[in-house]
């Protein structure tokens, strides 16, 4: 397309370079070059400011019965960003479950007495942990000390 044909093809005052690039199938930088060659001013909202963003869609919607994951899927963004926007905007939504305190292994199934008697390897086997060092780290973190059990050899 020739430079002069570009002038009438798009509304240069309302659309930013990204929007024109999407419509024309060209790159944003090429649209910027054409804008400059035509001597046109930048659009009212700027070059990189699309009108329709995930944040604007979150702000406009009602999300009281949705989780951040559902909101993210609906507006087209990541779950973390949706949660951040919902919180920043003070929008009511279903809070994600609190994952603190949830563990991969069932540490509570080992009694206090067993912690003192069993070796790390035995605890690992019982809990299905492939690496006994994980048990050692847990012991260290929870300040659980092993009590030495001496067996008398007769």
Could you tell me if residue 97 is inside a domain? no
Q: Is residue 150 part of a domain?
A: no
Q: Is 44 inside a domain boundary?
A: no
Query: What was the pLDDT predicted at 45?
Result: 59
Structure token digits, residue 96 = 């994600």
Q: Euclidean distance between the first and final Cα of the chain, in Å? A: 99
Kindly report the pTM of this predicted structure. Answer: 0.40
CB atoms within 10 A of CB 78: 12
In this structure, is residue 124 part of a structural domain? yes
Domain count, the chain: 3
Could you tell me the mean pLDDT of each successive run of 10 residues in the chain, 154 residues long? Answer: 84 85 90 90 64 85 91 90 92 81 82 89 93 92 77 62
Check whether residue 7 and residue 33 sit in a common domain.
Answer: yes
User: Containing domain of residue 129, as a range?
Assistant: 107-141
Q: Is residue 147 part of a domain?
A: no
Task: Give domain status of residue 115, yes or no.
Answer: yes
């Amino acid at each position: 397309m020739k430079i002069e044909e570009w002038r009438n093809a798009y509304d240069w005052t309302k659309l930013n370079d990204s929007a024109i690039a999407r419509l024309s199938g060209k790159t944003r930088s090429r649209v910027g070059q054409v804008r400059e060659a035509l001597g046109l001013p930048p659009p009212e909202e700027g070059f990189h400011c699309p009108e329709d963003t995930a944040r604007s869609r979150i702000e406009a919607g009602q999300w009281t019965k949705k989780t951040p994951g559902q909101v993210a899927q609906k507006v087209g963004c990541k779950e973390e960003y949706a949660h951040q926007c919902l919180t920043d905007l003070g929008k009511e939504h279903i809070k994600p479950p609190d994952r603190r305190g949830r563990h991969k292994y069932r540490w509570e199934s080992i009694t206090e007495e067993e912690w003192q008697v069993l070796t790390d390897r035995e605890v690992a086997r019982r809990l299905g942990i492939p690496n006994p060092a994980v048990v050692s780290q847990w012991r260290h973190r929870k300040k659980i000390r092993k009590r030495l059990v001496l067996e008398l050899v007769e």
